[in-house]
Structure formats: structure tokens, C-alpha cells
Amino acid sequence: MFKTIHQYYLYIITNKTYGTLYIGVTNDLERRMFEHKNKLVEGFSKKYGLYKLVYFESFQYVNDAITREKNMKKWKRQWKIDRIEKENFNWVDLSKDWRVFDD
């Protein structure tokens, strides 16, 4: 019997290096980034122009991703910056070369 492994993502987006941070969870990171980049998501990310994916983690179970999101949202801002820079020192947009964004 074939068992599908689901993938869930915790992600952090921003508008610029050391800018406003948003932490979210999704089951389709490419689709979600397309929505953020095209301002299709109402709310905080649209209001502050957050479109640059600077960090993400993947999880097999949605509850693990949600728990991580809730914990990270409680972190001090500097802890979040440190986590981003540990993996992505130059704050490169990790989704900039994804084909889904080609015009």
C-alpha cells in the first residue's frame, strides 16, 4: 500500500534585510509565496509589503509546524534574526528563482 507523505512548512518572510518579519505555516510553500508576492493574501503581509522568503523549515505533520510557529512567534526579534542569519546570512530571497513566478 502506497502512503503519501505530506509536507508542511513554517516560513519567515520580510520586505528587506532586518525589515518587518512575518511567520506563517502552509502546506504548499510555492503557492503561498506566489500569493504573497502578488499581494493576494489580505492582512499583515500585504499591509507591510512582505514578499521575500528568508527562512523555512519543513515538517511531516501539520501539528509540528503549527507548534513551531507558535513557539517562534514568542521569540525575541533578535532570536528570529539569528535563526535567519544562521541559514541565510545575506537574507537572500529563497523563492526568487522558483519557476512559478516567471511572467
Contact indicator for 54, 10 with CB cutoff of 8 Å: no
pLDDT tens by residue, 21-47: 999 999 999 999 999 999 998 999 999
Instruction: Tell me, rounded to whole angstroms, the distance of Cα 78 from its chain centroid.
Output: 17
d(CA 87, CA 47): 27
CATH fold of 8-101, please? GIY-YIG endonuclease (3.40.1440)
pLDDT tens by residue, 50-69: 999 999 999 999 999 999 99
Domain residue extents for the chain: 8-101
The alpha carbon torsion through 78, 84, 89, 90 (nearest 10 deg) reads -100
d(CA 52, CA 57): 15
